Structure 1
Amino acid sequence: MTTHAQEMSAPAKQVVKASLHPRARRQKSRIFWIRFLFVLPVMLYLVLFFGYPLYYSISVSLEKYDLSALFTGNAPFIGLQNYTDVLQDSVFQQSALHTLLFTVGSIVPQFVIGLALAVFFTKKFPLSSFLRSLMLLPWLLPIVVSGTIWTWLFDGTNGVIDQVLTALHILPAHFAWLTSPSWALFAIIITNIWIGIPFNMVLLYSGLTNISPEFYEASSMDGAGKWQQFFYVTLPLLRPVVAVVLMLGLIYTLKVFDLIYVMTKGGPANSTQIFATWSYNLSFSQQLFGNGAALGNMILIVALIVAVFYIRFNKSVD
């Protein structure tokens, strides 16, 4: 009887399995479509606001797309000629140098001052939370507002900076900050440092507060001083956060446009022209849309290279 029951149970199991199989497939299909519907808005967003603009930018950069092509719709394919024209333009070397100076001159002070403030605010004292929140103001202000404020501060006639430095006999009266080819870029770098310090401070402060006090206690027992703890405990443990801060700062600085456009528009005499502002001028001032798109794509390539290095760095840390 037992053997017969076992023999009968095998076909029965197959029947039950066959009856459940379509139901299981329908259930899996339903789960798939539910997940797809949740992902669909993000996919549409990426395609519409990233995929298509990137495709269009690459397409325009490979065509002779100027003002006449904009109206006629006839833009002949010229391959990499726009990229060659950009690289051979006399403004390219100027813009490359200014972009490098602006990027390094902004990122390094932002990071150093941001780290110093982050370490300072890890010490609890009255009004520390209020002051830390107040420090966020430069980052929260719209760039146009910040640029307008600092344009007034650097004004050679009524600017506060000019009046203070003149009173201290550091600079002559009516010093032309933003109209001097020698000093305009320096003034914009100072402004950008002021804007970026809070961002660096917040991320680094978050990283510092996540370091366990046990590391400092153990190093103190080994006789390490404050500076030794900072260089041999804090900085190594803060390394992943530092990488994020520097990468995001580099990408942000490479694409800065509005600040320079508000303060100098790339002048005087291209002395504050960086890749972002030059790309705008090529496209909308000179109507060389193909050249502007080519330069924009070159900026994107640099940002992608930075992102790849960051990803590889993260893998090596892990």
Structure 2
Amino acid sequence: MRVLKRFFRHENAGLLFALPACVYMLVFVGYPIISNLLLSLQDVTVANLSRGEKHFIGIANYIKLFHDDVFLKSLGNTLLFTVSCLVFQFLIGFILALFLNKNFSFARTVRGILMIPWMIPMTVTALIFKLLFATDIGVVNYILRSVHLISQNIDWLTSSKTAMLVVIIANVWIGIPFNTILLSTGLTTIPKELYESAAIDGASASQSFWRITLPLLRPTIESVLVLGFIYTFKVYDLVYVMTSGGPVNSTHLLSTYSYKQSFELFNYSIGSAVANVLLLILLMVGIIYLRITMQGEED
């Protein structure tokens, strides 16, 4: 009782307010992660699950994964997809943020319009792009034929050479508003007096950009890139609706391959192992980001 009374004292009010969130995280995040980790160390399929047989096999599932050509292709696709989306989302978002940082009449209206792709549900966006790049009825093929850039329709989503490109374009479209808004917000925190002082000292626009804008915007840029990496690396619904990982596994990501192993092939342990590899990579990125942030605060 004395321990409880000490804990419920006024100075522990912050811990009491955080307690419900901690319990929620333990139950709905911690337990599934631990359960998934244990599942990946067992041999569980639809065949032995009905018999209640769960054999502990250690890291055999992980060894099997790294000898699986489809898994290695999915890992490479995930890295290609993530890096490509990050580069184009960031560059286009940065340009738009610089443009919206200028004072003009419709700046707020344009910001609101830019948020529409971010607000539309992912599955709806996937269906829109699936129709846009459809072989026979797609708007993209119609426009390209109209301007005589192509003579016959391109199989955008059914060809292994172009399917990943279309998926990347769709995800870049979704991610541009996120980058634009965060970078635009970061630009508003830079004091205007710095630019005025630089202009008085004879600094050009490019010199102000490289010596004032980029250095002061560094924390925002780091946050945007890390959050963008996390969101993009675990994308599932967009790819599943547009291509389901095909054709010929050319657009399989770790998330879609984990789903396929678990709920199409019913290899639950293998699917859990794929998900844990994805989680481990994201965890490493998060740790690196925290170290960089802490080091920046110390400096």
Q: Aligned residue for 1:10?
A: none
Q: Does residue 261 of structure 1 match 2:240? A: yes
Task: Render the CA deviation track for 1:63-118: whole Å, top value 9, x for unaligned.
Answer: 00111232222110000001111111011221122112101110000000000000
Cα distance in 1 for partners of 2:66, 2:174 equals 31
Task: Render the CA deviation track for 1:195-250: whole Å, top value 9, x for unaligned.
Answer: 00000001000000000011111211221111111111101100000000000010
Q: 1:74 to 1:172 in 2, by over 3 A?
A: same
Q: Secondary structure at the match of 2:56?
A: coil
2:105 aligned to which of 126, 149, 152: 126
Q: Does residue 244 of structure 1 match 2:212? A: no
Q: Aligned residue for 1:80?
A: 59
**Unpaired segments of 5 or more residues in structure 1?**
1-22
Identical positions, percent? 41
Q: Aligned residue for 1:206?
A: 185
Q: Does residue 273 of structure 1 match 2:249? A: no
Q: Aligned residue for 1:175?
A: 154
Structure having the higher Rg: 1
Q: Aligned residue for 2:276?
A: 297
Cα distance in 2 for partners of 1:26, 1:148 equals 57
Q: Aligned residue for 1:6?
A: none
Matches within 5 A, 1:148-167: 148-167=127-146
Cα distance in 1 for partners of 2:14, 2:152 equals 66
Cα distance in 2 for partners of 1:276, 1:228 equals 43
Shift in Å, 1:39: 2.7
Q: Aligned residue for 1:314?
A: 293
Shift in Å, 1:47: 1.1
Q: Aligned residue for 1:64?
A: 43
Q: 1:296 to 1:27 in 2, by over 3 A?
A: closer
Q: 1:196 to 1:28 in 2, by over 3 A?
A: closer
Query: In 2, are the aligned partners of 1:163 and 1:173 still within 8 Å (CA)?
Result: no
Task: Render the CA deviation track for 1:183-202: whole Å, top value 9, x for unaligned.
Answer: 00000000000000000001
Q: Aligned residue for 2:28?
A: 49
Matches within 5 A, 1:190-229: 190-229=169-208
Query: In 2, are the aligned partners of 1:156 and 1:162 still within 8 Å (CA)?
Result: yes
Shift in Å, 1:317: 1.4
**Unpaired segments of 5 or more residues in structure 2?**
none
Cα distance in 2 for partners of 1:290, 1:32 equals 46
Q: 1:236 to 1:205 in 2, by over 3 A?
A: same
Cα distance in 1 for partners of 2:193, 2:14 equals 43
Task: Render the CA deviation track for 1:116-156: whole Å, top value 9, x for unaligned.
Answer: 00000011112210111110000001000000001000011
Query: Please, which moves more after superposition, 122-131 or 103-112?
Result: 122-131
Q: Does residue 137 of structure 1 match 2:119? A: no
> Structure 2: which amino acid aligns with 1:165?
L
Cα distance in 2 for partners of 1:42, 1:219 equals 47
Shift in Å, 1:34: 5.7
- Number of aligned residue pairs: 295
Q: Does residue 235 of structure 1 match 2:214? A: yes
Shift in Å, 1:40: 2.8
Shift in Å, 1:32: 6.8
Cα distance in 2 for partners of 1:161, 1:235 equals 37
> Structure 1: which amino acid aligns with 2:227?
L
Q: Aligned residue for 1:11?
A: none
Superposed CA RMSD: 1.7
Cα distance in 1 for partners of 2:280, 2:7 equals 40
Q: 1:141 to 1:59 in 2, by over 3 A?
A: same
> Structure 2: which amino acid aligns with 1:139?
W
Q: 1:221 to 1:36 in 2, by over 3 A?
A: closer
